[in-house]
């Protein structure tokens, strides 16, 4: 069974631009969570989607948003990029929201110049 | 991909030694705990988990111990191998109306010398 896939793997943007990252969960998994990983803050929870609905949200500004499609694939969007948004963005999938075990993708490395 | 911070605690061991990585978690209501391993350029990889109604769980070469009294979690790796070199994160699930919210520790870098 294929693991979680994320595209693109690397991205370079400039301040003020917006970016969309994509995540395909493990086949059969319906819950997708997003995390931001930085050297200073570690792994921080962004949001979780299930059945095309955001079920849980971390403490990030409204510039960070996401959505989930009927096939469970998810996208996250960051608008008006800031230098501090440079990070590794990780997607994790699980069978359902109550299935605690999450399986991570390789991440998208975003660099904001 | 970068998986470590500038001030990550580091554990250095020799190949064949047993390693113990510790983690203090934050919320006494947390009901589920996971250890992840993250190698450079990769996302976190599930190692082992434990529910709060247990105090010990064993996997292949790994054992997780949970002490709820002092909110402490440890990961023991037997006969550590160079391939075990990575950053290890503990994560706690804080109950939230049945949906997931994993809170991760800062991580510990394990360096295994041949």
Q: Does B103 touch chain A (CB under 8 A)?
A: yes
Given a cut of 80, whether residue B7 has pLDDT beyond it is no
Which of A25, A59, A107, A109 should be substituted to probe chain B, the one whose Cβ sees the most B Cβ atoms within 10 Å?
A: A107
The pLDDT assigned to B96 comes to 67
Number of A:B CB contacts under 8 A? 79
Minimal C-alpha gap between A38 and chain B (Å): 7
Query: What is the pLDDT averaged over residues B62-84?
Result: 96
The pLDDT assigned to B106 comes to 86
Beta-ladder partners of B50 = B33
State pLDDT tens for residues B82-100: 999 999 999 998 876 555 5
Residues of chain B in contact with residue A110, where contact means CB-CB under 8 angstroms, are none
pLDDT confidence tier of residue B3, bands split at 50, 70 and 90:
very low
Given a cut of 50, whether residue B5 has pLDDT beyond it is no
Span of A98-107, B15-24, B86-95 with lowest mean pLDDT: A98-107
Q: How many residues does chain B have?
A: 114
Query: Within its chain, how far is the Cα of B28 from the centroid?
Result: 18
Spatial contact of B86 and A93, defined as CB atoms under 8 Å apart = no
Q: A1 versus A75: which is more confidently predicted?
A: A75
Residues above pLDDT 90, as percent of chain B: 69
Residues of chain A in contact with residue B5, where contact means CB-CB under 8 angstroms, are 39-40, 42
Closest by CA to B87, choosing from A37, A2, A112, is A37
The pLDDT assigned to B6 comes to 46
The pLDDT assigned to B2 comes to 34
Beta-ladder partners of A111 = A12
Given a cut of 70, whether residue B63 has pLDDT beyond it is yes
The pLDDT assigned to B104 comes to 87
Going by their DSSP bridges, the two strands A31-38 and A42-50 should be labelled as: antiparallel
State pLDDT tens for residues A53-95: 998 888 899 999 999 999 999 999 999 999 999 999 999 999 8
């Amino acid at each position: 069974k294929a693991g979680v896939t994320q595209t693109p793997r690397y991205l370079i943007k400039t301040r003020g631009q917006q970016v969309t990252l994509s995540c395909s969960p493990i086949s059969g998994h319906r819950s997708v969570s997003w995390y931001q990983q930085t050297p200073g803050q570690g792994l921080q929870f962004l949001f979780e989607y299930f059945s095309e609905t955001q079920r849980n949200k971390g403490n990030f500004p409204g510039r960070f948003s996401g959505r989930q499609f009927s096939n469970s694939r998810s996208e996250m969007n960051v608008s008006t990029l800031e230098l501090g948004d440079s990070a590794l963005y990780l997607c994790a999938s699980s069978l359902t929201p109550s299935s605690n075990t999450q399986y991570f993708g390789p991440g998208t490395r975003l660099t904001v110049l | 991909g970068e998986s470590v911070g500038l001030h990550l605690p580091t554990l250095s061991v020799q190949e064949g030694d047993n390693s113990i990585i510790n983690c203090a978690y934050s919320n006494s209501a947390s009901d589920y705990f996971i250890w992840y391993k993250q190698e450079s350029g990769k996302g976190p990889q599930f190692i082992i988990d434990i529910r709060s109604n247990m105090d010990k769980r064993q996997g292949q070469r790994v054992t997780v111990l949970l002490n709820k009294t002092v909110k402490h979690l440890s990961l023991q790796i037997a006969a550590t191998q160079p391939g075990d070199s990575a950053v290890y994160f503990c994560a706690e699930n804080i109950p939230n109306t049945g949906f997931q919210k994993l809170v991760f520790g800062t991580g510990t870098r394990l360096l295994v010398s041949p």
